[in-house]
Amino acid sequence: MAITLIICESVIGNIGKGLKGKYDEMLAKDAVERISISRAESERLRMRKSTDRGTDIALSMPAGTRLRHGDVVSLADRMIVVAIEPENVAVVRLKNGDARTAVLVGHAIGNLHRPIRVEGDRIILPVQSDGEVEMLRRQLGPLAGNVDITRDFVVFEPEAGAHEH
Amino acid sequence: MAKRVPRVGVGGPVGSGKTMLIEQVVPVLFSMGYRAGIISNDVVSKEDADRMRRNLATEKGMLAEDLVVGLATGGCPHTAVREDPSMNIAEVEEMESRHPELDLIIIESGGDNITTTFSPALADYFIYIVDVAGGDKYPRKRGLGIETCDLLVINKIDLAPHVGADLKVMERDAKAVRGNRPFAFVNCRTGEGVDKVARHIVRDVLFELPPKARAG
């Protein structure tokens, strides 16, 4: 059996919130290790991963946990931080506050059954290929003057409650 | 509250060998001391569950008969394990509460197409199985199952020479599509390669911890 296995059973905090000071402190001590997981894996409760430094990690989280970018799952002599892998997304920006455009864009994107994230005037949704961005452009073609569609490669964390199926 | 029992999902096309893989891997895990329960989804019948119950429970005595549950899901098989897994989750939770001694619960999806995946709310680990007779182009053609599963199992390797399939091509393509995530060649009729599948489950799902019965 692997002796060095670290079993993590809860999220202790997030480096973007309460643990920021501690993170900086551990960073200064060169004691931060990261585990990379995909967005799909962020909803998993149980998995085995290696950190960027090769430490063996077993995650066994309480029901209902969703891992977020920057979550700390172990904090002792080392801090183990979750990093969500960046992915391809389409960014649909509403160029003006027109309600009609917003509803039509929402309807079109809703029909794709994807998770979304809304940041200000931008709607962000994951895509698998350039072809999908093109398809979105065609679908929203009639609204071309009011929307702007670009592609990006970022950490995507969906809105809670914006259910996909 | 009793500890959550780890869940392993097995999905794949119709006839790829999902049921046979489970029939082969459960005895290997059993010999290592691990106890498994099985929930088997079928669209209409409960034939797979009945077969596994007869083989693994009644004949081999490796698990209690109530530890093989058949679920006739009716609609699209993937719906029951991904979009709305509530029926399966209810069965898993019931089995877990009746049998907290289990080391794992295996959920078999009904035979489906290449986009099968399991909801993370249902399965902690996803094994996707295809067979050589589907053609050696299978891994290269991708699909959500092949791309996202934790372990890709390629079954019926004994048929390769008969269907003109090149295992080297499948190996190369599986690596190209899946990066360094694992795959295993197996023959579920003979059990060849199944120990490798068991080792992945023990390492990645059971964390190499001792079986509950032995841990006391």
pLDDT in tens, chain A (165 residues): 445 899 999 999 999 999 999 999 999 999 999 999 999 899 999 999 999 999 999 999 998 899 999 999 999 999 999 999 999 999 999 998 889 999 999 999 998 888 999 999 999 999 988 888 998 899 888 888 899 999 999 999 998 765 555
- Please list every residue in chain B whose beta carbon sits closer than 8 Å to the beta carbon of residue A44: 120, 124
The verdict on B215 touching A (C-beta cutoff 8 Å) is no
Which domains does chain B possess? 7-205 (3.40.50.300)
Do A40 and B124 lie within an 8 Å CB cutoff?
no
pLDDT for position A2: 45
**CATH number, domain with residue A99:** 3.30.70.790
Q: Is residue A161 assigned to a domain? A: no
> Which residues in chain A have Cβ-Cβ distances shorter than 8 Å to B6?
46
> Which one of A2, A40, A46 has the shortest CB-CB distance to B205?
A46
Is residue A52 located within the same domain as residue A98? Answer: no
Whether the CB of B124 is below 8 Å from some CB of chain A: the reply is: yes
> Is B84 within 8 Å of chain A by CB?
yes
Nearest CA to B70 among B28, B21, B109? B109
| Pick from B186, B125, B81, B116: nearest CA to A46 | B125
User: What pLDDT does A95 receive?
Assistant: 92
Domain final residue pick, A26, A51, A84 = A84
A123 part of a folded domain: yes
Q: Are residues A57 and A43 in the same domain?
A: yes
In which domain, by residue range, is A103 found? 87-154
Find which of B207, B208, B209, B214 to mutate to test the A interface (most A CBs within 10 Å of its CB): B207
> Which of A41, A67, A84 marks a domain boundary?
A84
Considering the domain architecture, whether residues A11 and A80 belong to the same structural domain is answered as yes
Per DSSP, chain A holds a count of helices (H) and strands (E) of 3, 11
Residue A115 included in any domain: yes
Do A76 and A100 share a domain, yes or no?
no
Please judge whether B204 and A48 are an interchain contact, meaning their C-beta atoms are less than 8 angstroms apart: yes
Closest residue of B to A46, CA-based? B124
Whether residue A163 lies inside any domain: the answer is no
A chain contacts of residue B121, beta-carbon cutoff 8 Å: 43
Name residue B179's amino acid.
G
Q: Which residues pair with A34 in a beta bridge?
A: A81
A27 has a chain B CB within 8 A of its CB: no
Burial of A63 (0-12, 13-18, 19+ CB in 10 A): exposed
A77 shares a domain with A104: no
Same domain, A45 and A100: no
3-class state of residue B107 by DSSP: strand
Q: How far apart, in whole angstroms, are the C-alpha atoms of residue A82 and residue A36?
A: 6
Residue A21 belongs to some domain of the structure: yes
Is the Cβ–Cβ distance between A101 and A164 less than 8 Å? no
Contacts of B117 in chain A (CB under 8 A): 40
DSSP one-letter string for B13-69:
BTTSSHHHHHHHHHHHHHHTT--EEEEEEESS--HHHHHHIIIIIIIT-SS-GGGEE
The whole-number pLDDT of residue A12 equals 97
Q: How many domains does chain A have?
A: 2
ipTM: 0.85
Q: Which two tokens stand for residue B180?
A: 């360094």
Residues A45 and A104 in one domain: no
- Residues A71 and A132 grouped into a single domain: no
A155: helix, strand or coil = coil
B2 and A CB contact within 8 Å? no
Which residue among A43, A60, A165 places its CB closest to the CB of B121? A43
Residue type (1 letter), B136: D
Six token digits for residue B149: 């599963």
Per the listing, tokens 């489906």 go with B112
B106 three-state secondary structure: strand
In a domain, A1, yes or no: no
Query: Phi and psi for A45 in degrees, rounded to 5?
Result: -100, -25
Looking at the structure, do residues A52 and A103 belong to the same domain, yes or no? no
Q: Using a CB–CB cutoff of 8 Å, tell me whether B4 touches chain A.
A: yes
Decide if A7 touches B, using CB distance below 8 A. yes
Q: For every one of its 216 residues, what pLDDT tens digit does chain B have, with 9 covering 90 and above?
A: 568 999 999 999 989 999 999 999 999 999 999 999 999 998 888 888 999 999 999 999 999 999 999 988 877 777 888 888 889 999 999 999 999 999 999 999 988 777 788 888 899 999 999 999 888 888 888 888 888 899 999 999 999 999 999 999 999 999 999 988 999 999 999 999 999 999 999 999 999 999 998 875
Which residues are CB-neighbours of A147 under 8 A, at least 6 positions away? A92, A93, A94, A95, A101, A105, A140
Domain assignment of residue A62, yes or no: yes
* CATH code, domain carrying A80: 2.60.260.20
Q: Do B208 and A165 touch (CB under 8 A)?
A: no
Contacts of A58 in chain B (CB under 8 A): 207
How many C-alpha atoms does A27 have within 13 Å on its Cβ side? 9
| A64 plus A35 within the same structural domain | yes
Chain A residues lying within 8 Å of B209, measured CB to CB? 1
Q: Which of A33, A54, A84 is the last residue of a domain?
A: A84
Shared-domain flag, residues A80 and A95: no
- Are residues A99 and A51 located together in one domain of the fold? no
Inside any domain, residue A49: yes
